[in-house]
Amino acid sequence: MGRFLMGRVLLAVPTLLGVSLVVFVTVKLIPGDPVTALLGPSASAASRAELTARLGLDAPLPEQYVRWLGHALTGDLGVSIARQVPVVDVLGAALGNTVILALAAFVPVVVGGALLGAAGAAFPGRWPGRLCDGLATLAISAPQYAVALLLVAFVAVGTGALPPGGMYDAADPGGPGDLALHLVLPATAAALVPMGLTARMFRTAMAGLLDGEMVEHLRARGLPERVVLRHAAHNAAPALLTIGGLQLAYLVEGVVFVETIFSWPGLGQLLFTALSQRDLPVIQGGVLVVAVAFVGINLLVDAAHGLIDPRVRR
Amino acid sequence: MRLRVTALAGLLTLTLATVAACSAAKGGASPASSQTPGTGGTLVVGMTSTDLPNADTVLNGQGFEGKRFVGFQLYEGLTRYDLSKPEGVAPLTGALATSWTHSDDARTWTFELRQGVKFHDGTPFDADAVIANYDRYTKKGDPHATAALQAAAGEYAGSFASYRKIDDHHVEIVTKTPNGHLPDDVAHLYIASPTAFGKETPVGTGPFRFGSLVPGQRLELLPYKEHWRGAPKLDKLVLRPIPDPAARLAALRSGEVNWIEYPTPDDVTALKDGGFQVPTNGYDHLWYWILDTTKKPWSDVRVRRAANYAIDRESLARDLLRGTADPAYQAAPRATAAYDPAGDVYSHDPAKAKALLAEAGVPDGFETTVVVPTAGSGNLLPVPIAESLQRDLAQVGIKVTIKTIEWGTLLGQEASGKVPFGADAIAQSTTLFQSEALLPLFLGTDSPFWTGHYSNRKVDELLAKAAASPEQATRSASYREALGLVTQDAPWLFVVNDRNPRALSPQVKGLVQPQSWFLDLTTVTVTK
């Protein structure tokens, strides 16, 4: 197991290096220049040149990359142009908020996805199976943005039962209870698509097993259907883990719309803002963090996979 | 993505309108929850900005929303705008200075400082505090300064040649060239407590003091009871960034906030019907197209005037913008000292437009391209407005192709003197006189921005003459004359002046909406 893990970690290093290079080059390609963003259009040529030199922007690109990477490795991602505070602080807060939202959404993704998928596989062609298949398809096809708007309009504004946005009450912020209330709608909106996908994929995995020799063998031994299903579910668990891991990664990086509609101060909203402000250090740092999170989650999934399925370790 | 956002925002508007109709009995929002009876209440503002403004002095100004809600609430400069009246352009008055005098050449200015003022942390305000702040803003290598801070301050302190403390209650500023609007400039150069330089908590002398900050979420300001103009009435002022218009509207309707900036024009009627207040007033704002005056046929003044006669500004302001903007018939925005009612020359007259086009040798019209931002501070509904103008211009034969672009990209290009797609025009909005120090950015031969290569030496001279004169009357007269020439030259397609709409819950009382970008929040209360 140790060697397996070590191998995975070693493989992650070149992946991350590649990611950092792509991030650095891509951000350089965005139109707009940080010196103008920082000094404004009326700045003199002298002060522009001075700042360009101070930011190291006059150095050749490879040198800039190595310097940036060196700083990034020590946790220094520069200073946000728009906010004038260290990028690490801005990103840390936003990432924390996104993780809260992603974890809250992850619960219905896994639980709902597994239940819908299992039911779809267990009752193929019968009404409970069809209903669950239909629900999964509906969840996938409902546009996240529209669902978010409808939740705001009908649940938050219409009934007043739940807040329409933010993480805490604006006038009088409360504790975890307040946070939980504010999480319900955005987590629901964020969870639908990944939950549907999880259900579809889990259903396929389960169906494959239920049609396979193992289940035939179990049934031949006269085991009750309940026990057969449990065995099938156990064998489909690695698939669920893989799918779930992917969806968690998706939630961490992909909830821009939900964060925008619900004014959730997370990574998606931060990156969107940074792009419109040409806040290059924040864009670079943010994309890097997302990429690292993606690689990290996949690494964890691989590790867990190895833990529950000995075949993978070989 | 933005296109999708815009398209779907319509969906919410519809849905919200339905819900509002169904729940009309609610009579608007429930008040913000933390209200104690018999006090000034808690005002929660949903701002349009994408993030909370930086509370460190001059770093909050982008788009002026940060100055409005944070800068001018936490801090004061030597002068300030008197925002207590709705009529007339908000005049300049004393803040941390009680009076000022200038030398005959308008280069040496002496300010007498207000006595007995204390910063929020109890530090007494005096001439040393002024000098410490001006050092931080302008002195190379000042330990408390950053490049961004000095760049932001440079927009207003750029004319400083030197400054000194005369005694504890007097400071002198000498400018490089005569600067008649120096008193206006120093209003934007906030004086922070020198004890707070480099600290996390901002400390000024403004009517509100810092309460707490949750980055990206909320900034809480508290009334400064010892303020020299008297304590503000509110118990608490909470600012929240809610950049999405649909989310902002939902926050107001659900009672999460009790004040939002810029409700979209389509929502205004429904908001009023739901019992919300929608105060508006003119201010220094112009929505316009900058035409490339060096490209044929826009290089012919008759063609530019023809376009100005061809567009129906009244319908646009009434039907599309629902009265949240006034038609602009000339270069000077209404709520400025440069505005002269006699200068309103461009009525809707397609026949005259056609005659002018014929005179210019293009009787059948021509094809042209305009770059339009998809959104952006002060740009109202940029694409729908451009489409409305496109229809009007087609009536006289000017066939317009609209190319949309993200606002940040457009601004970046303009700032370096370029126009995207090689287009013939740019659609956008601007302020001209709210900060006179910034005027040369937007108008004049030497503007660093892309201004359609418009150049009229007489206009340059008049603007320079106005800027050099310390007498308000002389300045106003020269600005009027200069903008009159701009109106005649028509380097722009003058479209509308925004009326600065905001929506307030019925519980918010005491707001005076001045003819300004800024607001006095000391008179506002929130009732139960």
Nearest CA in chain A to B47: A263
- Say if A53 is an interface residue toward chain B (CB within 8 Å): no
Question: Are A47 and B151 in contact (CB < 8 Å)?
Answer: yes
* C-beta neighbour count of B438 within 10 angstroms: 18
Interface residue of A27, A42, A178, A271 to substitute, partner B, most B CBs within 10 Å:
A42
DSSP labels for B17-66?
Answer: HHHHHHTGGG-SPPPPTT--TTS--EEEEEESSSSPPP-SGGGG-GGGHH
Clarify whether residues B159 and B178 are in a common domain: yes
**Amino acid B62: pLDDT:** 61
- Say if A20 is an interface residue toward chain B (CB within 8 Å): no
* CA dihedral sign, ordered B95, B101, B106, B107: negative
Nearest CA in chain A to B23: A158
Clarify whether residues B168 and B84 are in a common domain: yes
3-state secondary structure of A51: helix
pLDDT in tens, A180-212: 999 999 999 999 999 999 999 989 888 888 888
Worst-scoring range by mean pLDDT, A26-40, A148-162, B409-423? A26-40
Question: Are B218 and A168 in contact (CB < 8 Å)?
Answer: yes
Closest alpha carbon to B241 in A58, A41, A272: A272
- Say if A157 is an interface residue toward chain B (CB within 8 Å): yes
- Can you give the CATH number for the domain in which B44 is found? 3.40.190.10
Clarify whether residues B319 and B439 are in a common domain: yes
What are the residues facing B210 on neighbouring strands?
B221
Residue among A39, A149, A168 minimizing CB distance to B246: A149
Clarify whether residues B493 and B506 are in a common domain: no
| B99 occurs within a structural domain | yes
- Report d(CA B1, CA A144) in Å as an integer: 13
- Report d(CA B37, CA A51) in Å as an integer: 53
- Say if A155 is an interface residue toward chain B (CB within 8 Å): no
Residue among A36, A84, A164 minimizing CB distance to B416: A36
Clarify whether residues B63 and B102 are in a common domain: yes
pLDDT in tens, A53-105: 877 788 888 898 898 889 888 888 888 887 788 899 989 989 999 999 999 99
Residue among A42, A54, A93 minimizing CB distance to B441: A42
**Amino acid B31: pLDDT:** 39
Average pLDDT of chain A is 86
Min Cα separation A111/chain B (Å): 29
| B395 occurs within a structural domain | yes
| B86 occurs within a structural domain | yes
Count of A-B CB contacts under 8 Å: 179
- Can you give the CATH number for the domain in which B298 is found? 3.10.105.10
pLDDT band at A49 (very low <50, low <70, confident <90, very high): confident
| B271 occurs within a structural domain | no
Question: Are B250 and A153 in contact (CB < 8 Å)?
Answer: yes
Nearest CA in chain A to B441: A42
Q: Where are the CATH 1.10.3720.10 domain residues in chain A? A: 88-313
| B453 occurs within a structural domain | yes
Q: Containing domain of residue B450, as a range?
A: 286-498
ipTM over 0.85: no
Question: Are B238 and A40 in contact (CB < 8 Å)?
Answer: no
| B298 occurs within a structural domain | yes
Whether the CB-CB separation of B420 and B412 falls below 8 Å is answered with: no
- Report d(CA B204, CA B75) in Å as an integer: 5
**Amino acid B27: pLDDT:** 34
Clarify whether residues B304 and B450 are in a common domain: yes
Buried b (16+ CB within 10 A) or exposed e, A159-181: ebebbbbbbbbbbebeeeebeee
3-state secondary structure of B163: strand
- Say if A31 is an interface residue toward chain B (CB within 8 Å): yes
| B248 occurs within a structural domain | no
Question: Are B241 and A263 in contact (CB < 8 Å)?
Answer: yes
What is the domain count for chain B? 2
Flag whether pLDDT at A130 surpasses 70: yes
Phi first, then psi, for residue B286 (nearest 5°) are -135, 130
Per-residue confidence in pLDDT tens, chain B, 528 aa: 333 334 444 444 444 444 444 333 333 333 343 444 448 999 999 999 888 888 998 888 667 899 999 999 999 999 999 999 999 999 999 999 999 999 999 999 999 999 999 999 999 999 999 999 999 999 999 999 988 899 889 889 999 999 999 999 999 999 999 999 999 999 999 999 999 998 889 999 999 999 999 888 899 999 999 999 999 999 999 999 998 888 899 999 999 999 999 999 999 999 999 999 999 999 999 999 999 999 999 999 999 999 999 999 999 999 999 999 999 999 999 999 999 999 999 999 999 999 999 999 999 999 999 999 988 888 999 999 999 999 999 999 999 999 999 887 888 888 878 899 999 999 999 999 999 988 988 899 998 889 999 999 999 999 999 999 999 999 999 999 999 999 999 999 999 999 999 999 999 999 999 999 999 999 999 997
Clarify whether residues B332 and B439 are in a common domain: yes
Closest alpha carbon to A197 in A62, A288, A106: A106
- Report d(CA B48, CA B50) in Å as an integer: 7
DSSP labels for B361-400?
Answer: T-TT-EEEEEEEES--TT--SHHHHHHHHHHHHHHTTEEE
Min Cα separation A221/chain B (Å): 56
User: Chain A, 164-183: which have a CB under 8 Å from a chain B CB?
Assistant: 164-173
- The CATH code that applies to domain A88-313 is 1.10.3720.10
**Amino acid B87: pLDDT:** 93
**Amino acid A41: pLDDT:** 64
Phi first, then psi, for residue B428 (nearest 5°) are -170, -175
| B10 occurs within a structural domain | no
- Say if A214 is an interface residue toward chain B (CB within 8 Å): no
CB < 8 Å to B441, chain A: 41-42
Clarify whether residues B41 and B147 are in a common domain: yes
The pTM for the full model equals 0.86
Q: Which two tokens stand for residue A93?
A: 């807060």
- Report d(CA A157, CA A153) in Å as an integer: 5
